[in-house]
């Protein structure tokens, strides 16, 4: 089972803390992430939350400019990838991990998160696939989850967003992650409360960080 607050993993008793941030503005959340990793925590922290409607631009996006005053606002970030959307009904997990103390190499981080998420969704009865050309999860050719990570001074931040029951009209007003694809919601295929979905993902990420 995933721990609800702080738990210990494996023989090294590595601490993992999950925090439910509720609904939080993107810019505020990013500031909090950066503040956390500057403290160089000994253990791992994973936050799960929702953002009010916002577009975020990754380092690969060269055409779209930052505009915090637009509706929804557009923020430039230092994560990987191009442009994506966040909104109410989408669950976001941010991973502030001490990469000196993970059971995998930093270069495997994105793959590990995607595989863990994919397996959790499969465990709920929904087949999905991981795209190699565009890191994310797809169902029937539509994008279910997007990922963008950043590593700084042996710590990771940013994370993965999964569409549970988000406003797809607003999401699909852009090309998700700069691609000519449409996004989809998990609720189209599975009747599951977002709180239960969060618990399943917490369990998957706890398992991911265990020292085998």
Q: Which residues are catalytic?
A: 177
pLDDT per position as a tens digit, 146-189: 999 999 999 999 999 999 999 998 888 876 554 567 899 999 99
| Rounded-to-10 torsion of CA 5, 6, 10, 14 | 140
Check whether 2 has a pLDDT greater than 60. no
The per-residue pLDDT for range 199-212, each reduced to its tens digit, is: 999 999 999 999 76
Distances (CA, A) of 64 to 56, 57, 74, 179: 10, 8, 9, 14
């Amino acid at each position: 089972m995933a721990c609800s607050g702080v738990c210990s993993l494996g023989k090294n008793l590595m601490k993992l803390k999950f925090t439910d941030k509720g609904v939080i503005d993107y810019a505020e959340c990013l500031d909090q992430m950066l503040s956390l990793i500057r403290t160089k925590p000994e253990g791992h922290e994973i936050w799960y939350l929702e953002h009010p409607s916002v577009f975020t631009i990754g380092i690969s996006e060269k055409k779209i400019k930052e505009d915090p005053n637009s509706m929804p606002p557009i923020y430039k970030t230092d994560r990987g990838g191009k442009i994506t959307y966040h909104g109410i009904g989408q669950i976001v997990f941010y991973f502030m991990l001490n990469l000196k103390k993970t059971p995998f190499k930093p270069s495997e981080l994105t793959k590990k998160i995607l595989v863990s998420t994919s397996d959790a969704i499969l465990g709920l009865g929904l087949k999905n696939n991981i795209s190699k050309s565009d890191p994310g999860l797809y169902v029937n050719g539509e994008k279910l989850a997007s990922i963008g990570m950043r590593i700084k001074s042996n710590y990771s931040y940013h994370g993965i967003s999964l569409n549970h029951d988000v406003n797809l009209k607003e999401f699909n007003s852009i090309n998700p992650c700069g691609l000519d694809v449409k996004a989809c919601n998990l609720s189209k295929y599975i009747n599951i409360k977002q709180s239960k979905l969060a618990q399943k993902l917490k369990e998957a990420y706890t398992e991911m960080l265990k020292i085998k």
